[in-house]
Structure 1
Amino acid sequence: MNMEKILSGMMKTMMSVKPPRMTALRELHEAETGGPFSILIGTILSARTKDESTTKVVKALFSKYKNAKELSKAKLKDIEKIIKPIGFYHVKSKRIIQVAQIIDSQYKGIVPDDLDALVKLPGVGRKTANCVLVYAYEKPAIPVDIHVHRISNRLGLVETKTPEDTEQALMKKIPKKFWIDINDTFVMYGQNICKPINPMCDVCKIKRNCKFYKSK
């Protein structure tokens, strides 16, 4: 089954059930303030947090701190107060201030568009770095979160144990022209249809080619 059919089948399924809400990162990308810095910070904040919470917190944060320079000078307790609704807010508050300081001092306020530079930032792994490449710079990359990892394995696209392995396997298997759409579509599908528990296989339009469905 080719990736074009998988992506279009997922979108047709979601539209036939209920048009999905945009992912938090897609919302940031579409927002007027959605520059690379807000997407970098938004991605760090989104870890283990629901999209609705991430979106609200990022809006509140960037209404007060417009850029890396302003956030780099913020007081920890002020940041904690703003981002308290999300998970691990103590750790994340320190981290985003550290990241802002590095972006301001080492990169003159401009978020790098290079994977190697991004993963050197505190708390930035491959998934976050790839999200910045895709959503901030529209560069081909495959950010693999729990949804992308789960669905790729269910479909039989890969047989992997970790998201890192999934990323490498997908990069070898999927033509580069589709990379930029994988995260956004798979995440929406994972949130709305192909859920971790009780996936909605009955409505899925790509189930005939799904390894998980065939094994049920």
Structure 2
Amino acid sequence: MSQPDQRRRPLVVDIHSHVSLPELEASLDGRFLPEYDPFSYYSGAVSNRYNAEHFSEIVPQLTQPARRLEDMDRMGVDVQAISVAPPQYYYWTEPDLGEQLTRRLNERIAQICQQHPARFAGLGTLPMQDPARAVAELDRITQEYGFTGVEICTNVNGADYDHPRFEPFFARAEELQTLIVLHPHGYTDGLRLSAYYLSNVIGNPLDSSVAMARMI
């Protein structure tokens, strides 16, 4: 007669999970232009309407750790690596404001991780529009919060990571052995992707592919 399997269940880790700070939108003071968000800019009206409805439904999960933990327990997820939602990269802002917003977001991620250290790991965000500030913030979140990874977009306002200005950032990340998660936010030239949610199902993988190919 066979014996019951006594092995422990493997740890289930969700590496792709976002948080949001909606209150930061008040800091933008009319600076935002639609073209700063290629994902929405190149999505059709139907897709944008659906996304807005869906976002309104998941705001509690994006903003309330207790609600997120309920879902994790229900789904059997042990640990989530949490990172900012792509609309809050804020690479299009001027460097001073971008740095301030980035710090607020990282503080929130760190707060959630400190409140529930067994359930959450933080992936920081960086002001990549200014590589020197990105390096400084990378050092800060590594030292102050113990973050070992960051999430960055697949381009910075249309610039790719093979540009020499990003070399100091990648050099420092390598020194710190920082895990870098590339997360797209639409394709920068998505005129033909407006229908059928193609801005997501084609645009996002395409932008990721271009980013990685240019880095290699």
TM-score, scaled to structure 2: 0.26
- Larger % of strand: which? 2
TM-score by length of 1: 0.26
